[in-house]
Amino acid sequence: MENYVGLVRLRIFRGVNLAIRDSRSSDPYATVTMGDKKLKTRVVRSNCNPEWNDELTLCVSDHHLPIQLVI
């Protein structure tokens, strides 16, 4: 069992004016990575201004690991 030093709770609210990736729109989602742990929001179909309002929780095993957010 891995020893955790804490939790990081993130709320991903929305994206604004995201780039178009398909012919007219995008199907955006966000990913959060910390070490080998990776979480993902839900996909919002055909929307360049998505509203996720998703809460993601990461268990922290090393407080020196960076957190990466990618949309």
Domain map (residue ranges) of the chain: 6-70
pLDDT on residue 18? 92
The predicted model scores a pTM of 0.84
pLDDT on residue 32? 97
User: CA–CA distance from 69 to each of 12, 39, 61 (Å)?
Assistant: 10, 10, 18
State mean pLDDT over 60-66.
Answer: 91
Assigned CATH topology for domain 6-70: Immunoglobulin-like (2.60.40)
Question: Closest Cα to residue 11, out of 54, 68, 69?
Answer: 54
